[in-house]
Chains A and B, each alone.
Chain A
Amino acid sequence: MNIVQLRKLSYDEVAKCNKCGFCLPSCPTYLVMKEEAYSPRGRNAITRFAIENKLKLSEDTERSIFSCLGCGACTAVCLSSVKTKDIIFQNRECEVDEGFYPKIIDRLVRTLEGSRNISDDDNEDRAEWLELIKDFPEDAFEKEHAEILFFVGCVASFFPMVQRIPANMAKILQNAGVDFTILGGDEWCCGFPLIGAGMPEKLEQMKEHNLKKVADVGAKTVVFTCPSCYHTWKHFYKTDVRLMHASQLIAELIKDKRLTLKKEVNLTATYHDPCDLGRNSGVFEEPREVVKAVPGLNFVELPQNRMLSVCCGGGGNVEMTDPDLTAQVAQMKLDSIKDVGAQMVVTACQQCVRTMQTRAKRTKSDLVVKDLTDLVVEAME
Chain B
Amino acid sequence: MDNKELAERLREIAGKDYVLTSDMDRMLYSYDASLEKAIPDVVVLPNSTEEVSKIMSLAYREKIPILGRGSGTNLTGGSIPVKGGIVVHFSRMNRILEIDIPNRTATVEPGVITLDLQTEVLKKGFIYQPDPASQKVSTIGGNIAENSGGPHCLKYGVTSNHILGLEVVLNDGTVIWTGGKSRDNPGYDLAGLFVGSEGTLGLVTKAILKLERAPETIKTMLAIYETIEDGANTVSAIIAEGIVPATLEMMDNPVMRAVEETIKVGYPLDAAAVLIIELDGMPEGMDEKAQKIMEICKQNNVREVKLAKDDAERDLLWAGRKGAFGAVGQVRPSYLCCDGTVPRTKLPEVLNKVMDISKKYDVPIGNVFHAGDGNLHPLIMFDERNKDELKRVLKASTDILKACVDVGGTISGEHGVGLEKLKETSFIFCENDIEFERHIKKAFDPDDFINPGKMIPEPVCEQ
Chain A residues engaging chain B, CB cutoff 8 angstroms:
12, 15-22, 24-25, 34-37, 42, 45-46, 49, 54-56, 58, 60-61, 64, 78-82
Residues of A within 8 A of B333 (CB): 12, 15-18, 80
Residues of B within 8 A of A79 (CB): 259, 262-263, 323-327, 329-330
User: Do A15 and B383 form a contact, CB below 8 Å, given A42-B28, A80-B327?
Assistant: yes
Query: How far apart sit A36 and B20, CA to CA, in the bound complex (Å)?
Result: 11
Query: How far apart sit A16 and B327, CA to CA, in the bound complex (Å)?
Result: 10
Residues of A within 8 A of B262 (CB): 78-81
User: Do A21 and B23 form a contact, CB below 8 Å, given A79-B329, A80-B330, A81-B330?
Assistant: no
From B27, B259, B325, contact of A54 by CB (8 A): B27
Question: A15 near B24 (CB under 8 angstroms)?
Answer: no
Min CB–CB distance B382 → chain A (angstroms): 11
Min CB–CB distance A43 → chain B (angstroms): 9
Question: A64 near B33 (CB under 8 angstroms)?
Answer: no
Residues of A within 8 A of B45 (CB): 34-35
Query: How far apart sit A60 and B45, CA to CA, in the bound complex (Å)?
Result: 18
Query: How far apart sit A19 and B37, CA to CA, in the bound complex (Å)?
Result: 12
From A21, A46, A60, contact of B73 by CB (8 A): A21
Min CB–CB distance A14 → chain B (angstroms): 9
Question: B323 near A21 (CB under 8 angstroms)?
Answer: no
Look across to chain A and name the residue whose beta carbon is closest to the beta carbon of B23.
A55
Query: How far apart sit A42 and B69, CA to CA, in the bound complex (Å)?
Result: 15
From A60, A78, A82, contact of B22 by CB (8 A): A60
Question: A35 near B27 (CB under 8 angstroms)?
Answer: no
Residues of B within 8 A of A15 (CB): 333-334, 383-385
**Interface code B237-270, partner A: CB below 8 Å = 1, 0 otherwise?**
0000000000000000000000101110000000
Query: How far apart sit A15 and B384, CA to CA, in the bound complex (Å)?
Result: 8
From A36, A58, A82, contact of B28 by CB (8 A): A36
Query: How far apart sit A80 and B23, CA to CA, in the bound complex (Å)?
Result: 28
Min CB–CB distance A164 → chain B (angstroms): 38
Which residues in chain B, 112-147, are within 8 Å of chain A measured between CB atoms? 113, 115, 134, 136-137
Question: A49 near B27 (CB under 8 angstroms)?
Answer: yes
Min CB–CB distance A226 → chain B (angstroms): 30
User: Do A80 and B31 form a contact, CB below 8 Å, given A24-B137, A35-B25?
Assistant: no
Residues of B within 8 A of A19 (CB): 31-33, 72
Residues of B within 8 A of A12 (CB): 333
Question: A37 near B134 (CB under 8 angstroms)?
Answer: no
Q: B449 within 8 Å of A by Cβ?
A: no
Q: B225 within 8 Å of A by Cβ?
A: no
User: Do A64 and B24 form a contact, CB below 8 Å, given A21-B72, A22-B136, A79-B323?
Assistant: yes
Chain B residues engaging chain A, CB cutoff 8 angstroms:
20, 22-25, 27-29, 31-33, 45, 71-73, 89, 91-92, 94, 113, 115, 134, 136-137, 259, 261-263, 323-327, 329-330, 333-335, 383-385
Query: How far apart sit A346 and B92, CA to CA, in the bound complex (Å)?
Result: 32
Question: A18 near B33 (CB under 8 angstroms)?
Answer: yes
Residues of A within 8 A of B324 (CB): 79
Look across to chain B and name the residue whose beta carbon is closest to the beta carbon of A81.
B262
Question: A18 near B27 (CB under 8 angstroms)?
Answer: no
Look across to chain A and name the residue whose beta carbon is closest to the beta carbon of B72.
A21
Question: B329 near A21 (CB under 8 angstroms)?
Answer: no
Look across to chain B and name the residue whose beta carbon is closest to the beta carbon of A23.
B137
Query: How far apart sit A81 and B261, CA to CA, in the bound complex (Å)?
Result: 9
Query: How far apart sit A79 and B333, CA to CA, in the bound complex (Å)?
Result: 11
10 residue pairs of the A-B complex, CB under 8 angstroms, read A20-B326, A22-B323, A36-B29, A36-B72, A42-B28, A46-B24, A49-B27, A79-B327, A80-B329, A80-B330
Q: Chain B CB within 10 Å — which of A15, A36, A37 has the most? A: A36
Residues of B within 8 A of A64 (CB): 24
Residues of A within 8 A of B25 (CB): 35-37, 60
Min CB–CB distance B91 → chain A (angstroms): 4
Question: A61 near B330 (CB under 8 angstroms)?
Answer: no
Question: A45 near B329 (CB under 8 angstroms)?
Answer: no
Given pairs A17-B333, A20-B73, A60-B22, 7 additional interface contacts (CB within 8 A): A12-B333, A16-B333, A18-B335, A19-B33, A36-B89, A56-B23, A60-B23
Look across to chain A and name the residue whose beta carbon is closest to the beta carbon of B111.
A34
Question: A34 near B91 (CB under 8 angstroms)?
Answer: yes
Residues of A within 8 A of B92 (CB): 34
Look across to chain A and name the residue whose beta carbon is closest to the beta carbon of B30.
A45
Query: How far apart sit A60 and B28, CA to CA, in the bound complex (Å)?
Result: 12
Query: How far apart sit A34 and B261, CA to CA, in the bound complex (Å)?
Result: 31
Residues of B within 8 A of A20 (CB): 33, 73, 134, 137, 325-326
User: Do A21 and B384 form a contact, CB below 8 Å, given A45-B31, A61-B24, A64-B24?
Assistant: no
